Amino acid sequence: MSKRIWVSFRSGVYDITDFVGQHPGGDKILMSSGGALEPFWTLFAVHKTREVFKMLEKYRIGNLDSKDRTVEKPGVDSTPDPYDNDPLRHPVLRVRSKKPFNAEPPEELLTQQFLTPKEIFFVRNHLPVPEIDIENYTLEIEGFGLKEPKTLTLDEIKKKFPKHTVISTIQCAGNRRDEMNKVKEVKGLSWGSAAISNAKWSGARLVDVLQYCGLDFDDQNIKHVQFDGLDFDVSSNPYGASVEAIKALNPNADFLVAYEMNDEDIPLDHGFPLRLIAPGVVGARNVKWLSRIVLSDEESHSHWQRKDYKSFSPNIDWHNVDFESAPSIQELPVQSAICEPREGQLVQMDENRNIQMSGYAWSGGGRKVIRVDVSADEGINWVTAELQQEDSPLNRTYSWTLWKANIPVPKEWKSGHKVELVCRATDSHYNIQPENVRNLWNLRGVLNNSWHRILNN
């Protein structure tokens, strides 16, 4: 007997095996297989119509037992789990680690929309999500260039400064680590190509906040701006990071003390109530649950600033690495990835023997993606993709570019043969992605921006 596909909705259980082929959204419907439809329909609200409900009724095969209708709370034992405060997450996320929570969305959902919905925005937490006492939440600001330390309440940050909005992509330096791990094992969380997401962030400009605090921007001692979160490690050190002052204090760099993501309060996993948005800078410096800003003559002493998020030559391994010898990763190199088709999927050709490809591209430091090329023959022939991007200046583009391309299948290709699809992007400085991941190997598995390759049948 072939395997049947069922889903639940409210109290009903439905066998949708015979409907899957007719689903307008293709096989994405399979993501909900074996579970509830509600979380998916919240994400894709087009389903919430009478027609859809009526159609679904045709497939009802039974009802859920009442005890299965409500989400069960995991049992709590006597020792408090520091992760008890972690929020509920969307079931479509691919969980890479539970505690701390790290997850990425399926690639084929990632590029369905220009702004990533909060439910599927990738999550990178190094520590438990902190408990937030919203009534007493404050931001401390101290260091060189200030007469005295200042404390601002959340309300002051929301009311005292003009609200500024930036569309900024956040990408983890470990995005696409899995491909590097295949060359030779690296130490780090396993990531596919979706440790990246794009959102509209709003809040006060960092420079406006600092100006209000009376900062002397010309104080020569200020070399780095440090940021601390409210999440602490076992030795009570907060997650922290820093960015060079020349960058963070430049009003054109659009750094934000953000309180909104896609026009709503920032979700708990993404830094509620305040997060630093460091546009064009590696994810690690976009500090969540922001509680302290320090104007300093040195980089943050955080582990993640000094002993991590750095890259080395392929010859360096754990026995001879000297973390002090390399600068911290800041702006990220030009990147792109294919989101559809997926690896191993059967190639769907149209009547002109074209394969439809789509994906994302992005570059750090505000550099705009100016071109995406795709190839189906190892880079002998290239097709230039059509780009969807923001209308922003060349060196102040912080949002990703989505792209689509129709690539002719090589003539000699017959059904059942493998075909390798590749993509690569070029940014406004004419930086282009390197061809092979092998040459980029580094012990932490960061900065993999090699041509993205997908092998299909």
Would you call the peptide bond into 273 cis, given omega within 30 degrees of 0 as the criterion?
yes
CB of 286 to ligand MTE, least distance (A): 5
User: Which residues inside 17-76 make contact with ligand MTE, applying CB under 6 A?
Assistant: none
* Interface of this chain with Mo ion, residues 92 to 131, rule: CB under 5 A: 124
CB of 368 to ligand MTE, least distance (A): 22
Radius of gyration of the chain (CA): 24
- Tell me which of ligand MTE, Mo ion, none is bound by residue 440, counting a contact when its beta carbon lies within the kind-specific cut-off of 5 to 8 angstroms: none
Among 172, 207, 295, 339, indicate the residue that binds Mo ion (CB under 5 A): 172
172 part of the active site = yes
> Catalytic annotation on 309?
yes
- Min CB(228)–ligand MTE separation in Å: 8
Give the contact letters, 253-282, x = binds to ligand MTE (CB under 6 A), - = no.
-----------------x------------
* Closest residue to Mo ion: CB criterion: 172
Number of Cβ within 10 Å of residue 21's Cβ equals: 9
Q: Considering 14, 137, 239, 309, which one is annotated as catalytic?
A: 309
Site for ligand MTE in 119-138 (CB under 6 A): 121-127
Q: Please identify, among the stretches 171-179, 201-209, 349-357, 429-437, the one whose residues bind Mo ion according to the rule CB under 5 A.
A: 171-179
Going by C-alpha positions, the residue among 303, 305, 273, 271 that lies closest to residue 288 is 271
Which of Mo ion, ligand MTE, none interacts with 306 (beta carbon under 5 to 8 A by kind)? none
Judged by beta carbon, residue 124 or residue 150, the one nearer Mo ion is 124
Residues near ligand MTE (CB under 6 A) are 121-127, 170, 172, 229, 231, 239, 270, 283-284, 286-289
Residues near Mo ion (CB under 5 A) are 124, 172, 283-284
- Cite the active site residues: 23, 47, 124, 172, 309
